A and B are shown apart, each in its own frame.
Chain A
């Protein structure tokens, strides 16, 4: 209330200013008249009496101002006045204003973007009711969120901690709405998914637990709003329509609300289908396989009053029962809880580490910008010491002068913040619609919201106060008479001033940023040049899933054969191989294997967990994977022949002891099949992670373990576009209803390179910003020091100093500070390598190339920044200069 009242009074006084001034004026005049009356009575003539009265009264204008202030009328007015004055001052030095505003715009823009990402990924809860009690279940041992369907059912039915556990799996299928078959991404979800999450349909209805009656009993589809909008043009009549999914009829039940994009933040599906129809959708009958952990995420709301710790205890007790009851299938079954939005700790941990690192670096940028502007402001305050002294001498209060300087700082920070925010909004809008991978619906909704604007405003204000506070001491200590008498000579002292310290801090921060971006670039270069274990150049990958076109069991190998034969007939194709899922791509399969001597085939006794590929005989040639010893597969390694495998060296080392005599030996799979090793191939990178350690891998003949998921690896020197067109037409000739996706292998590897690329890009941007900041910082300092000492330098030159000596006198100090700051920054960078290692693969700032690069970069920056001031020093004409001053 009080605040409102006082604000109203202030606003009222603002408009009544002239009226109030007149009243004050009249009252003061009345006082003087009364006094003059008295003086006149004591014998003075009227004119003299009035003159005396006025003198006795004191500073008329000053008191008038004070009266006005006492009425509370000046707050807003002073603000407006200060703002106008600041604008005028800034207009007079546009160079300074532009540098300051750009510096801040960059820093605040970077922080706004990073905050928006942080907000979207980590701070903002998933868009479901009661998001704070929603948890996903991860295995405690490897943080993997995957579960098998029977395990899920046991956890769902026997826990006492959740209001309902829902399961959700990402899958891909072929959708045929009547004309053109298309590949779609969907969530296979348990019947209780929407009810457990508390989501209401936008249109039509959802499916429920009561719709599940065993395998393939619930052929229903719930569309996401986005897919309905984009592919059904908001047609409300879509509810009840029947479409074909992998050739099976499915009924569209309803549409999910627009704000619900599934339970993973970065993976928005096209629609939802019941998980009990997994055989039709996913192409494999995994519903009864307890040992196959394929369900991506199991999640639910904790019951009211149940803590996560209690829930973990509850789940783990079910887990230990499962461990005992099904030792063949279930390994260690203890659990942890994590937010489902980033796939639990599985994806959450690296993403959180990355975002935290980014936030830290962006904060450093802002700090460096503030240090930069602080020293610029201090320099300006020193330049304006004469103006300040004059104002002080004329009776201005120090508070009033400080207030004006702060207004100037805040004004700059607000303008800079606004520009930065505008830039970041543009960037974020772009980022929100950006799909890094054409084949996956991976996308992040980072559009700015109120909190982003709020944070930007707050940062702008805070940084304004921060760098505005730097020259305060200088102003407070100004002695007006001293400055006016002696002129602004500046302190020629050699002692380290606060300004110097600021510059060192700023350069150190910038050196850290430059170092980290170089580390990132090096890391990326190194990952790109490491050996993949295959040769992605001149290869087209053709992704098809035969189950999407209704092929099953025996029809699959025959079709695969026809497809690969058809590819062979394309002119210029050197070789064609088949693989169930190419290496270094999202999605891979692992199996546990046992030594030949093991008889008790429970997971705990496994010799290794290995990556598994099902490949055709020609795969190795088409992929360019080198055979080290033994043989690859032939067409005779079919389902009637003895089971064989090709392994890599790591597999041989781990399972068979050594690679030298591995060929011909046997190992076992979990179902007890014995496989004979027929060949050993080179190692490589298999999962979607370039940084992986050597992993065991085994290749099985696709004829012995059929897979309807088929990637064709087509090696050819032909132009990719022509080749893709030729491939497409051959496939259409074989089966027009088979959806396919054709890309070069290099394109397909984008997924694996995404992490390092994003890291390099963001660190690179931050590094460039750091470099720019250090340029403006050093430039400001050097230019200032030169302009301060012009007269001294002129005298030195007039007395016969050499140009080199003058240059040294003028720029030695900034360069010394630069060297000192860079050394500190480099040291800090080395100490911070642990932080960097979070963000970039193979990050090591101890790399001599990086070290040399940072030193070189900082030296270059110094050279660049001191170039103009140095030119100015060299162009000093002592005579003209001395005459002018």
Chain B
């Protein structure tokens, strides 16, 4: 890192557009430092900011870089309860990828991801359109739809576990009302348990999707609306033809956010099903945890963590490329 730079003697580069994360570009050459003559009084004044500026920046940069490299390294070693530093090549990866646990967790992730993203997006969009109908008590409705995001997944998972528990929850209630043959036992059904995670997850996150969609809908150019209305387009047609195309980029952002969310899901499953029944709701995050801290296989756990990171990158890298492409396109069109 170019510590030769003296931040104090540089022109502060303000006023440039805020750049979303992950778009670091190489710094352009700037006017050389030290144009102003250094005075004796300036020495402390010049160094003190460095002492404040660098430690937190370095700590956060170093922790990201070194932790990633370290876990990756561990994944190529035979480490069990404690780190060992012999090289075993791809052995951990082969054994993780061939394990039944990982295969089931990955296919669960696909089902959960598809169901959760679809349901959350549809619910979020529907709620946003409903809220956009010049309704009364808009703030109240928005607050109700968004409050689950303020609550811990542990709480969400615990409460949904009660509601979905056939012995005490919804099934029990409906049977008590006289519908003796009513069945809603997904929580303990190996085939259906994964969908309980979908329901609880969508309950928690759809308000957030709503907020993002609503912001998008309301940023649509007012003139476009008017033009469509003058053309005699009905409300449904306006949404389909004017609003949806305009919020395309928000759609993609919501999808990426929700996919990320899916891949990182951990607390919710721990509280709701614990990964069961059997392996029915096992997810890769739980496999990593299980390998590292329950079975004491740090090497394999590290390999599983790296695979998890690769899943995440498979979602994020295309998105960053797309975001970059869009920015360039917008820059070209002024």
Q: Do A and B bind each other?
A: no
